[in-house]
């Protein structure tokens, strides 16, 4: 059973998804093209007993959602490139202290304040390496309004399950477009909550791997026993340590809790790749142009397909590896930047394909015709 | 119906064209079709040339932007001159009577949208809804019933009668041509 069919904006779908996932705290500093997420959260959260705070800036917003999450509230913030830069320090804190939270980055043209109202995909690398130090992170990117809804729920689920910040990487096109959607009933949605420890226990080691899966259960701040949370390397008690084994073991656990679960975390979509000679790798709104181009090129008899990445980080190396068992000879990476994902795809291809970039960074969405022209050009080289 | 119909609504910022685009998309959904609405705007809140775009289709809509509009509505000359460049040769240009008719080969429908909204309906602010009435009658892209329902569901309660009147004046203007 589905709810009624309506016209919904991407940013609105993000809030609806967040509320369905159980978000009850939002702190933010509104910025185009993410503003509607804060606006609608401010309207809807209080009605559900949740809290909305407009903070003094993005740094404080990120700090506030970390604090709220520690007390047990599912928490989110939303921003765009300039604000995302400011959040990086606290994102690193959340990675190390293992605080579940969702950060929405609606990409606009950059660098700096750039093109506030126009789309880009220039934050691909910043979502992976924006904060310093080796750290785990999960980044997912939707292509449609319905997918914004589903992926916001998934961002909360992944974040809660793995105790890691999850970045929902949107772009201006997906965020601002309105599209026909049919939302599912709440009862049909899978919700994952973090593992809780019974607050009545007498000794609590906040970073002890009680279950052996690399993910320590949490206790809400304020319930039961007091504990220590820090951005310093810490032992299982949560207190700082400079011990070499403690440092190594902590970083290994932080990485392995993500990299041991790639089958769960990685999502991608293959369209017509089984017999394709050229496969276009894409994500976000660009993938819609690519989809159109693939459809039109197939009508002309071109053997072309698409690999759409839904999970951006960790990178889906297995998706590229699988293409090595097909007739694919050319990979074309279409993105609204100078080629940020292209370098990773090249590394993953290990020379098995001729790899090209289709890049646009003028504040306009890549058009299907541009994809078609590039595919024809690539085919000539072959 | 074609696989994909592209409509661009343009005018000056503040004329309510984005709202008109939303309503047109909602009417298409009420008709059981697919619809995508998008907009383009600069950092300013008022003035300048503003546009809203709607794509209506019986099948899935992938590329969400308008590339060759089948219909262009322009309420100001500035908007018309800025946005008619990629109108299909067989397309329809709907312009307000205050705009100088361009010497182009596509079909042009020129009607007094702003004047009728101001003098017949009584408020120029409903020109966007009146324009939807014209567009509905002139193109048949959406049904009269659905556009009326979509208008009444979107506009504030106290302005329903006013907007309904504007829509019906638009129906009349779109039919007489």
Place of tokens 């899978």: A190
Could you tell me the residue range of the domain that residue A32 belongs to?
2-188
CB-based contact (8 Å) between A232 and chain B?
no
A1, with CB counted inside 10 A (0-12, 13-18, 19+), is exposed
Q: Which of B9, B134, B17, B138 is nearest to B74 (CA)?
A: B9
Task: Tell me which of B60 and B39 has the higher pLDDT.
Answer: B60
Residues B14-19 have a mean pLDDT of 92
Q: What is the ipTM of this complex?
A: 0.92
CATH number at residue A297: 3.40.50.920
Give the span between the Cα atoms of A221 and A226, in whole angstroms: 7
Task: Evaluate whether residue A97 is within a structural domain.
Answer: yes
Residues B6-29 have a mean pLDDT of 95
* Helices (H), ranges, A163-271: 172-176, 244-259, 262-265
Give the span between the Cα atoms of B48 and B11, in whole angstroms: 8
CATH number at residue A172: 3.40.50.970
**Which residues of B are less than 8 Å from A365 in CB distance?**
64-65
Cβ distance A288 to B34 less than 8 Å, yes or no, reads no
Cβ distance B29 to A180 less than 8 Å, yes or no, reads yes
Cβ distance B41 to A285 less than 8 Å, yes or no, reads no
The residues facing B54 across adjacent strands are B7, B37
> In terms of CA atoms, which chain A residue is nearest residue B55?
A179
Cβ distance A295 to B62 less than 8 Å, yes or no, reads yes
Task: Evaluate whether residue A18 is within a structural domain.
Answer: yes
Cβ distance A173 to B37 less than 8 Å, yes or no, reads no
**Cβ proximity of A230 and A97 under 8 Å:** yes
Residue ranges in chain A modelled with pLDDT below 50: 1
Give the span between the Cα atoms of B128 and B126, in whole angstroms: 5
Judge whether residue B115 has pLDDT over 60: yes
CB-based contact (8 Å) between A320 and chain B?
no
**Chain A 340-379, residues with CB within 8 Å of chain B CB atoms:** 365, 367-369
Q: Which of B3, B58, B19, B2 is nearest to A180 (CA)?
A: B58
Give the span between the Cα atoms of A256 and A253, in whole angstroms: 5
Residues B121-131 have a mean pLDDT of 96
A234-270 pLDDT tens trace: 999 999 999 999 999 999 999 999 999 999 999 999 9
Q: What is the pLDDT of residue A1?
A: 42
Mutate to test the interface with B, among A114, A180, A271, A368 (most CBs of B within 10 A): A180
- Facing A7 at nearest CB: one of B35, B40, B65: B35
CB-based contact (8 Å) between A113 and chain B?
no
**Which residues of B are less than 8 Å from A117 in CB distance?**
40-43
A175 and A309 in a single domain? The answer is no
Residues in CB range of A174: below 8 A, 6 or more apart: A10, A142, A143, A144, A145, A148, A284, A285
Residues B148-157 have a mean pLDDT of 97
**Cβ proximity of A69 and A101 under 8 Å:** yes
Q: Which of A292, A184, A300, A304 is nearest to B61 (CA)?
A: A292
Tokens of A295: 């459809």
CB-based contact (8 Å) between A289 and chain B?
yes
Cβ distance A178 to B38 less than 8 Å, yes or no, reads yes
Task: Evaluate whether residue A227 is within a structural domain.
Answer: no
Judge whether residue B66 has pLDDT over 80: yes
- Facing A180 at nearest CB: one of B22, B34, B41: B34
Cβ distance A178 to B25 less than 8 Å, yes or no, reads yes
Task: Evaluate whether residue A373 is within a structural domain.
Answer: yes
Task: Evaluate whether residue B171 is within a structural domain.
Answer: no
Task: Evaluate whether residue B127 is within a structural domain.
Answer: no
The number of domains in chain B is 1
Give the span between the Cα atoms of A142 and A9, in whole angstroms: 13
Q: Domain boundary residue among A188, A209, A233?
A: A188
**Cβ proximity of B144 and B136 under 8 Å:** yes
Cβ distance A288 to B39 less than 8 Å, yes or no, reads no
**Cβ proximity of B166 and B19 under 8 Å:** no
Give the span between the Cα atoms of A352 and A330, in whole angstroms: 9
Task: Evaluate whether residue B133 is within a structural domain.
Answer: no
Mean pLDDT score across all residues of chain B: 93
Looking only at the bridges linking them, the beta strands covering A330-335 and A354-359 are: parallel
Residues in CB range of A303: below 8 A, 6 or more apart: A275, A276, A277, A278, A327
> In terms of CA atoms, which chain A residue is nearest residue B66?
A367
**Which residues of B are less than 8 Å from A176 in CB distance?**
38-39
Task: Evaluate whether residue A96 is within a structural domain.
Answer: yes
Cβ distance A180 to B35 less than 8 Å, yes or no, reads yes
Q: Domain boundary residue among A172, A188, A204?
A: A188
**Which residues of B are less than 8 Å from A367 in CB distance?**
63, 65, 67
The number of domains in chain A is 2
CB-based contact (8 Å) between A291 and chain B?
yes
Tokens of A287: 């993938």
Task: Evaluate whether residue A195 is within a structural domain.
Answer: no
Task: Evaluate whether residue A315 is within a structural domain.
Answer: yes
CATH number at residue B24: 3.40.920.10
**Cβ proximity of A336 and A360 under 8 Å:** yes
CB-based contact (8 Å) between B34 and chain A?
yes
**Cβ proximity of A98 and A163 under 8 Å:** yes
A183 and A286 in a single domain? The answer is no
**Which residues of B are less than 8 Å from A295 in CB distance?**
62
Residues in CB range of A140: below 8 A, 6 or more apart: A151, A154, A155, A158, A166, A167, A168, A169, A267, A310, A311, A312
Task: Evaluate whether residue B81 is within a structural domain.
Answer: yes
Q: Which of B40, B64, B68, B66 is nearest to B52 (CA)?
A: B40
Task: Evaluate whether residue A232 is within a structural domain.
Answer: no
A144 and A23 in a single domain? The answer is yes
Cβ pairs bridging A and B (under 8 Å)? 57
Could you tell me the residue range of the domain that residue B19 belongs to?
4-112+140-155
Cβ distance A116 to B29 less than 8 Å, yes or no, reads no
Residues in CB range of A112: below 8 A, 6 or more apart: A82
Residue B76 Cα to chain centre, angstroms: 13
Task: Write the CA distances from B62 to A41, A174, A191, A294, A300, integer angstroms.
Answer: 28, 12, 29, 11, 18
Q: What is the pLDDT of residue B45?
A: 57
Cβ distance B38 to A288 less than 8 Å, yes or no, reads no
Q: What is the pLDDT of residue B46?
A: 62
Task: Evaluate whether residue B164 is within a structural domain.
Answer: no
Task: Evaluate whether residue B13 is within a structural domain.
Answer: yes
CA triple A118-A119-A120, angle to 5 deg = 130
Task: Please tell me the pTM assigned to this model.
Answer: 0.96
CB-based contact (8 Å) between A122 and chain B?
no
Q: Domain boundary residue among A188, A210, A231?
A: A188
Task: Evaluate whether residue B125 is within a structural domain.
Answer: no
A159 and A278 in a single domain? The answer is no
First to last CA, chain B: 22
Task: Evaluate whether residue B17 is within a structural domain.
Answer: yes
A102 and A14 in a single domain? The answer is yes
């Amino acid at each position: 059973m589905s709810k009624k069919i309506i016209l919904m904006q991407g940013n609105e779908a993000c809030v609806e998804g967040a509320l369905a996932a159980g978000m009850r705290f939002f702190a933010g500093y509104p910025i185009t093209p993410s503003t509607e997420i804060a606006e609608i959260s401010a309207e809807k959260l209080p009605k559900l007993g949740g809290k909305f705070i407009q903070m003094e800036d993005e740094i404080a917003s990120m700090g506030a959602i970390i604090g709220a999450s520690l007390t047990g509230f599912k928490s989110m913030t939303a921003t765009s490139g300039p604000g995302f830069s400011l959040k990086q320090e606290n994102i690193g804190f959340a990675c190390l202290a293992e605080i579940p939270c969702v950060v929405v980055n609606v990409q606009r043209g950059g660098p700096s304040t750039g093109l506030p109202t126009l789309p880009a995909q220039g934050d691909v690398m910043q979502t992976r390496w924006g904060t310093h130090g080796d750290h785990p992170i999960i980044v997912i990117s939707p292509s449609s309004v319905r997918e914004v809804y589903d992926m916001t729920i998934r961002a909360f689920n992944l974040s809660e399950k793995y105790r890691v910040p999850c970045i929902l990487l949107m772009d201006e096109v997906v965020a601002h477009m309105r599209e026909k959607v049919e939302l599912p009933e709440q009862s049909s949605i899978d919700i994952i909550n973090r593992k809780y420890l019974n607050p009545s226990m007498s000794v609590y080691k906040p970073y002890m791997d009680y279950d052996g899966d690399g993910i320590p259960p949490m206790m809400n701040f304020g319930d039961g026993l007091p504990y220590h949370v820090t951005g310093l390397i810490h032992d299982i008690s949560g207190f700082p340590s400079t011990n070499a084994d403690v440092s190594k073991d902590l970083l290994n656990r932080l990485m392995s809790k993500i990299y041991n679960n790639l089958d769960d975390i990685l999502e991608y979509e293959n369209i017509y790749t089984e017999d394709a000679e050229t496969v276009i790798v894409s994500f976000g709104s660009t993938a819609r142009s690519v989809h159109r181009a693939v459809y039109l090129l197939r009508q002309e008899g071109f053997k072309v397909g698409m690999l759409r990445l839904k999970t951006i980080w960790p990178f889906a190396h297995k998706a590229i590896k699988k293409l090595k068992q097909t007739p694919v000879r050319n990979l074309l990476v279409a993105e609204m930047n100078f080629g940020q994902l292209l370098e990773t795809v090249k590394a993953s291809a290990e020379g098995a394909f001729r790899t090209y970039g289709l890049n646009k960074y003028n504040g306009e969405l890549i058009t299907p015709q541009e994809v078609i022209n590039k595919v024809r050009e690539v085919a000539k080289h072959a | 119906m074609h696989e994909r119909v592209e409509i661009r609504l343009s005018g000056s910022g503040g004329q309510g064209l984005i709202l008109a685009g939303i309503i047109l998309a909602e009417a298409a959904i009420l008709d059981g079709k697919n619809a995508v609405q998008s907009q383009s705007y600069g950092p300013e809140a008022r003035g300048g040339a503003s546009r809203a775009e709607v794509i209506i289709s019986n099948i899935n809509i992938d590329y969400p932007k308008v590339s060759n509009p089948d219909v262009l509505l322009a309420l100001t000359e500035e908007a018309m001159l800025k946005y008619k460049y990629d109108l299909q040769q067989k397309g329809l240009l709907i312009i307000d009577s205050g705009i100088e008719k361009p010497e182009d080969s596509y079909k042009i429908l020129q009607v007094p949208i702003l004047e009728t909204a101001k003098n017949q309906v009584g408020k120029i602010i409903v020109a966007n809804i009146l324009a939807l009435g014209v567009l509905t009658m002139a193109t048949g892209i959406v049904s009269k019933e659905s556009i009326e329902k979509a208008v009444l569901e979107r506009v504030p309660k106290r302005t329903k009668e006013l907007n309904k009147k504007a829509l019906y004046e638009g129906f009349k203007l779109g039919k007489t041509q």
